[in-house]
Amino acid sequence: MTHPSDTGTAPVLALRDVSKSFGAVRALRDVSLELFPGEVHALAGENGAGKSTLIKTLAGVHRPDAGQVLLDGTPVVFHGPGDARDAGIAVIYQEPTLFPDLSIAENIFMGRQPRRALGRIDHKATHDATAQLMRRLGVELDPDRPARGLSIADQQIVEIAKALSFDARVLIMDEPTAALTGSEVARLFGVVRTLREQGAAVLFISHRLEEIFHICKRVTTLRDGAWIASEPLEGMTEDDLVRRMVGRDLDELYPKQEVTPGETALSVRRLTREGVFTDVSFEVRRGEIVALAGLVGAGRTEVARAVFGVDRWDAGEVEVDGKPLVNGAPSSAMAAGLALVPEDRRAQGLVMDMSIERNIGLTGLRTTVKAGLVDRGAERSRSLDWAVKLQVKYARIADTVATLSGGNQQKVVLAKWLATGPKVLIVDEPTRGIDVGTKAEVHRLLSQLAADGVAVLMISSDLPEVLGMADRVLVMHEGRLTAEISRTDATEETVMAAATGRAAA
Amino acid sequence: MADSPLTRAVRWDTVVGALLVVVLLLSFGFVDGFGNSLNLSFLIGNTLPIALIALPMTLLVVSGEIDLSVASTAGLSGAVMGALWNQGMTIEAIIPICLLLGVACGLFNGLLVTRLGLPSLAVTIGTLAAYRGIAQIVLGSDAVTDFPSQYLDFAAGRFDGTFVPYAFVPFLVLLVVAVVALHAMPFGRSLFAIGASEEAARFAGIRVKRQKLILFTLTGLMSSLTGVFWALHYASARYDNATGLELSVVAAVLLGGIDFDGGKGTLGGAIAGVFLLGALQNVMSLQDVSAQSQIVVTGVLLVLSVLGPRVARQISLARAGRRVAAPPPSKTPAPTP
């Protein structure tokens, strides 16, 4: 790779042809990356593209199977996160983990506080060092304030200060803005610019493309674990970047059919689960795909769980086709024609040690019955039918689902629920962590189901998916439904504004 | 649950069945006094209490739970039976009361586990002590022996000219019911799902708590039935009847290939395990091995039956791991910044 930096310096940290596999999954294939001092570099790629693995490789959590990590041009091997930290590499995660009862200063100098005679902690020195770090970052935070009650944004600042106290020269920021409001993002970017001017190399990860274009100079794109490109952002458009990430045009990935909505199939009225979500009301009509957007922790999954009956609700009511559901009874929801494809397919969607056949069969235990016994013939043909319809790639239908890839496991979960012939289908993060090809298949399937008259409620943190698939977008913020946005008005800006609690622009 | 033939070429329940046949053949050949019909009827009669409780215990362990209070429930039923008999009640009235008592004992365990979310191991260790204590309060140190002879004859007798005890027939009926329930009915299917992943079962609309409550109640019922059988079979109702029987039941069920973590195993395997343990205990008695030593053997079998599958899994994991793991690269010192 040619040297793109105009400062004429060498990369402080680089990956050269790095590969990493987990069992049969090749998370990274021949990936290269160069980080220069005084430059903010973006890492782009879809969920499952290998970004996390790359970060963990840089941070010393994973050791590459092949290829090299180069620090100042010299190959190094990190034997753990401690080695990477000592080399000046720090990772700022989306949700920092501070000790809530300790002060900011104590959190920063945990385990290495300045000492006075007889090994006593020098509180004044700790305080002063922290105050100096905050000045360097241009932020006003009281070093003696306990970490409890700090906003996510402030917690990230503390983590950055901690990184600086370790003389970090490389900062890796893993989706730092996902949970921040607009003004917090602006302040964070101010800090990032300060770091850049002080000569730090920053690797910046975000799903918000406009942020990448705003703060970064160059971008490295990954797709399905493979390196696609490292290039300057100047002259690129967002569409160019998306095409690199997705490997095709968006139209193919989001094959949304236009459907005229029919009657109301799912009606949720004033649903409340104390301390989790409050006064949530919405309807989903036949043929509609309604997205439920919001930040992680906004209460979307919890609403879905309560509607389906896995959790109880404290107030409100849920109706499917005008029939009220029993509180806290998934069997009642199923009987009424409701299906839920849960967020965590390995723990909630599937019994991993059971066969494909029996997993699909689990939802048919009440229906594929003859004289009180499981009708094994009917069970097998039901499972085979749906496995074939959804093009699940498997060796034998009696193999355990643990042997399948993530995308195929997700198809089995979908098969299991589609086999019940649902009127209302709730899908929670239906394409998280699955490859792009399967993702497009899942989207086509959801679109076809809606066209066939199924009411679909789709929870998704993937904004392009929300915008590409939904007829309407409901947005939750801190346990409340804050906005309903039509397909024509839905943009990244309007959805994110509602999701972060800002009034729509 | 039936694994695919290629992932597990030899199934553990088949192994236990084969082992049972081998032990029986060797015993017929080499153990004096084993093959005569009186001893065989003793073998079956002494094993029946374990077998009866093993039926619901298998279902319970498959669903990821356990009940250690079964022997105490059996003892309590026997004690209540003796006390009521002393009061002059008819045996026809006493037996239903004892069975209802067992239902209550099981229901109590089940409610503590499902409503309060307590671990069944802890709950049933507690009720193991409590139920036995109540038995002692009810009957004291009395031994009631004068039950009606037709009941005693049924519980201890065998079909003329054979080694088959009368009581073996109702057991066979219950066995068939349990096999059908576990392996052919939706109920049993849901138990395997619950045992393998309770959360996934809940998300599939399976009523996890209700199924577990049913199982604990059935276990209590079968335990009290066993308690009644025990008192009649040995013509003695005492508060300490069936003490330690839970050890044999759990050992036999695990030996039969029921995974302690739930979700795996067959009732056929469990029953093979029961009779394997029964045959070993019988042979040891014939060889004048003391009762205490027999308990040691049972305990060791219990440990081995839990350990065996895990060791096998570790070995296969270690093999798989060697193929994947890369050779450790040499450490290069990081240059100081």
Integer CA distances (angstroms), B63 to A320, A485, B57, B69, B264, in order: 32, 46, 10, 17, 9
Average pLDDT, chain A: 89
As a whole number of angstroms, the distance between CA A442 and CA B206 comes to: 26
- What the block records as the tokens of B210 is 């209700």
What is the per-residue pLDDT for A248?
66
Q: Which residues in chain B touch residue A353, judged by CB atoms under 8 angstroms apart?
A: 1, 196-197, 263-264
Q: Which residues in chain A touch residue B265, judged by CB atoms under 8 angstroms apart?
A: none
Do B200 and A349 lie within an 8 Å CB cutoff? yes
> At residue A276, what is the residue type?
V
Give the pLDDT confidence of A458-497 residue by residue, as tens digits.
999 888 889 999 999 999 999 999 999 999 999 888 998 8
DSSP string of A276-306? TEEEEEEEEETT-EEEEEE-TTSSHHHHHHH
The answer to whether residue B311 sits within a structural domain is: yes
Judged against a pLDDT cut of 80, whether residue B332 lies above it is answered with no
Do A355 and B4 lie within an 8 Å CB cutoff? yes
As a whole number of angstroms, the distance between CA B207 and CA B197 comes to: 13
Residue B331 pLDDT grade (very low, low, confident, very high; cuts 50, 70, 90): very low
3-class DSSP state for residue A46? coil
As a whole number of angstroms, the distance between CA B267 and CA B192 comes to: 12
Tell me whether A416 touches chain B (CB under 8 Å).
Answer: yes
Instruction: Count CB neighbours of A396 within 10 A.
Output: 13
Rounded to an integer, the average pLDDT of A219-224 is 91
**Contact between residue A1 and residue A32 where contact means Cβ atoms under 8 Å apart:** yes
Judged against a pLDDT cut of 80, whether residue A207 lies above it is answered with no
**Contact between residue B266 and residue B257 where contact means Cβ atoms under 8 Å apart:** yes
**Contact between residue B72 and residue B53 where contact means Cβ atoms under 8 Å apart:** no
Tell me whether A79 touches chain B (CB under 8 Å).
Answer: yes
Tell me whether A331 touches chain B (CB under 8 Å).
Answer: yes
Q: A178-211 in b/e burial notation, b at 16+ Cβ within 10 A? A: bbbbeebbebbbebbeebbeeebbbbbbbbbbeb
Residue A254 pLDDT grade (very low, low, confident, very high; cuts 50, 70, 90): confident
Closest chain B C-alpha to A260 CA, distance in angstroms: 31
Q: Which residue of A has its CA nearest to B180?
A: A373
Closest chain B C-alpha to A273 CA, distance in angstroms: 19
- Sheet containing A218-223: give its strands across: A74-76, A66-71, A13-22, A25-35, A226-232, A218-223, A39-44, A201-205, A170-174, A89-92
What is the per-residue pLDDT for B3?
42
Give the pLDDT confidence of B249-261 residue by residue, as tens digits.
999 999 998 998 9
Residue A4 pLDDT grade (very low, low, confident, very high; cuts 50, 70, 90): very low
Tell me whether A360 touches chain B (CB under 8 Å).
Answer: no
Give the pLDDT confidence of B97-122 residue by residue, as tens digits.
999 999 999 999 999 999 999 999 99
As a whole number of angstroms, the distance between CA A374 and CA B83 comes to: 45
Instruction: Count CB neighbours of A89 within 10 A.
Output: 28
The answer to whether residue B165 sits within a structural domain is: yes
Do A351 and B205 lie within an 8 Å CB cutoff? no
Domain range for B157: 5-319
Rounded to an integer, the average pLDDT of B292-299 is 89
Instruction: Count CB neighbours of A501 within 10 A.
Output: 15
Q: Which residues in chain A touch residue B184, judged by CB atoms under 8 angstroms apart?
A: 373-374
Do A23 and B324 lie within an 8 Å CB cutoff? yes
Q: Which residues in chain B touch residue A369, judged by CB atoms under 8 angstroms apart?
A: 186
Nearest residue to A68 via CA among A1, A36, A20: A20
Judged against a pLDDT cut of 60, whether residue A23 lies above it is answered with yes
The answer to whether residue B329 sits within a structural domain is: no
Of A74, A349, A363, Cβ closest to residue B205:
A363
Nearby residues of A208 by Cβ (< 8 Å), 6 or more positions away: A177, A463, A492, A496
Rounded to an integer, the average pLDDT of A8-37 is 88
Do A331 and B201 lie within an 8 Å CB cutoff? no
**CATH (domain of B44):** 1.10.3470
The answer to whether residue B51 sits within a structural domain is: yes
Name the most confidently modeled range: A2-6, B31-35, B83-87: B83-87
Do A365 and B331 lie within an 8 Å CB cutoff? no
Do B189 and A340 lie within an 8 Å CB cutoff? no
Do B200 and A347 lie within an 8 Å CB cutoff? yes
Q: Which residue of B has its CA nearest to A363?
A: B204
The residue with tokens 């086509």 is A444
More confident residue, B233 or B325: B233
Judged against a pLDDT cut of 50, whether residue B329 lies above it is answered with no
Question: Which DSSP category does A257 fall into?
Answer: P
Q: Which residues in chain A touch residue B7, judged by CB atoms under 8 angstroms apart?
A: 399-400
Do B190 and A87 lie within an 8 Å CB cutoff? no
As a whole number of angstroms, the distance between CA A499 and CA A467 comes to: 14
Q: Which residue of B has its CA nearest to A89?
A: B337
Question: Which DSSP category does A258 fall into?
Answer: P
What is the per-residue pLDDT for B8?
44
Nearest residue to B58 via CA among B299, B304, B272, B270: B270
Q: Which residue of B has its CA nearest to A78?
A: B331
Nearest residue to A148 via CA among A111, A185, A107: A107
What is the per-residue pLDDT for A436?
65
What is the per-residue pLDDT for B229?
97
Rounded to an integer, the average pLDDT of A298-316 is 95
Question: Which DSSP category does A349 fall into?
Answer: I
Q: Helices B267-286 and B291-324 meet at what angle, rounded to 10? A: 140
Integer CA distances (angstroms), A172 to A35, A260, B127, in order: 10, 46, 55
Rounded to an integer, the average pLDDT of A187-192 is 89
Judged against a pLDDT cut of 80, whether residue A95 lies above it is answered with no
Q: A32-51 in b/e burial notation, b at 16+ Cβ within 10 A? A: bbbbbbbbbbbbbbbbbbbb
> At residue A480, what is the residue type?
R
The answer to whether residue B334 sits within a structural domain is: no
What is the per-residue pLDDT for B334?
38
Q: A120-157 in b/e burial notation, b at 16+ Cβ within 10 A? A: eeebeebbebbbebbeebebebebeebbeebebbbbbb
Of A79, A363, A373, Cβ closest to residue B184:
A373
Judged against a pLDDT cut of 90, whether residue A46 lies above it is answered with no
The answer to whether residue B95 sits within a structural domain is: yes
Bridge partners, A74 (sequence order): A71
As a whole number of angstroms, the distance between CA A483 and CA A291 comes to: 12
Which residues in B have their CB inside 8 Å of a CB on A? 1-2, 4, 7, 180, 184-186, 189-190, 192-193, 196-197, 199-207, 263-264, 324, 326, 329-332, 334-335, 337
Of B184, B197, B329, Cβ closest to residue A351:
B197
**Contact between residue A247 and residue A436 where contact means Cβ atoms under 8 Å apart:** yes
What is the per-residue pLDDT for B318?
65
Of B184, B206, B332, Cβ closest to residue A75:
B332
Integer CA distances (angstroms), A478 to A150, A183, A279, A298, in order: 16, 18, 12, 5
Q: Is the dihedral of CA A168, A172, A175, A177 positive or negative?
A: positive
- What the block records as the tokens of A456 is 């679909």
The answer to whether residue B113 sits within a structural domain is: yes
More confident residue, A160 or A423: A423
Q: Which residues in chain A touch residue B11, judged by CB atoms under 8 angstroms apart?
A: none
Q: Which residues in chain B touch residue A71, judged by CB atoms under 8 angstroms apart?
A: 334-335
Closest chain A C-alpha to B203 CA, distance in angstroms: 6
Find which of A365, A400, A401, A416 to mutate to test the B interface (most B CBs within 10 Å of its CB): A365
Q: Where are the beta strands (DSSP E) in A454-498?
A: 455-459, 472-477, 480-486
Tell me whether A76 touches chain B (CB under 8 Å).
Answer: yes
What is the per-residue pLDDT for B10?
62
3-class DSSP state for residue A499? helix
- What the block records as the tokens of B74 is 């059996």
As a whole number of angstroms, the distance between CA A397 and CA A400 comes to: 8
- Sheet containing A315-320: give its strands across: A277-285, A264-273, A315-320, A323-324
Q: Report angle CA B109, B113, B118 to the nearest 5 degrees.
A: 120
Rounded to an integer, the average pLDDT of A435-454 is 88
Phi, psi (rounded to 5 degrees) for A344: -105, 95
As a whole number of angstroms, the distance between CA A76 and CA A91 comes to: 18
Q: Which residue of A has its CA nearest to B191?
A: A362
- What the block records as the tokens of B98 is 């004892």
Q: How far is CA A264 from the centre of its chain?
A: 31
Name the most confidently modeled range: A88-92, A231-235, B84-88: B84-88
What is the per-residue pLDDT for B328?
37
As a whole number of angstroms, the distance between CA B148 and CA A43 comes to: 85
Tell me whether A354 touches chain B (CB under 8 Å).
Answer: yes
Rounded to an integer, the average pLDDT of B132-144 is 95
The answer to whether residue B328 sits within a structural domain is: no
The mean-pLDDT minimum among A268-282, A366-380, B175-189, B319-333 falls in B319-333
Length of chain B: 337
More confident residue, B326 or A57: A57
Phi, psi (rounded to 5 degrees) for A353: -85, 0
What is the per-residue pLDDT for B309?
65
Nearest residue to B277 via CA among B307, B243, B305: B305
Tell me whether A496 touches chain B (CB under 8 Å).
Answer: no
Find which of A362, A426, A427 to mutate to test the B interface (most B CBs within 10 Å of its CB): A362
Do B193 and A76 lie within an 8 Å CB cutoff? no
Do B332 and A77 lie within an 8 Å CB cutoff? yes
Nearby residues of A488 by Cβ (< 8 Å), 6 or more positions away: none
Rounded to an integer, the average pLDDT of A58-66 is 91
Tell me whether A395 touches chain B (CB under 8 Å).
Answer: no
- What the block records as the tokens of A91 is 């990772």
To the nearest 10°, report the CA torsion of B72, B75, B79, B81: 120
Q: How far is CA A155 from the centre of its chain?
A: 20
Phi, psi (rounded to 5 degrees) for B77: -60, -45
Rounded to an integer, the average pLDDT of A273-280 is 95
Closest chain B C-alpha to A348 CA, distance in angstroms: 4
Nearby residues of B44 by Cβ (< 8 Å), 6 or more positions away: B163, B164, B165, B168, B278
Rounded to an integer, the average pLDDT of B135-147 is 95
In chain B, how many domains are there? 1
As a whole number of angstroms, the distance between CA B239 and CA B243 comes to: 9
Pairing mode, if any, of strands A455-459 and A338-341? unpaired
What is the per-residue pLDDT for B326?
36
Tell me whether A352 touches chain B (CB under 8 Å).
Answer: yes
> At residue B172, what is the residue type?
L
3-class DSSP state for residue A480? strand
As a whole number of angstroms, the distance between CA A254 and CA A251 comes to: 5
Rounded to an integer, the average pLDDT of B23-45 is 94
Tell me whether A396 touches chain B (CB under 8 Å).
Answer: yes
Residue A29 pLDDT grade (very low, low, confident, very high; cuts 50, 70, 90): very high
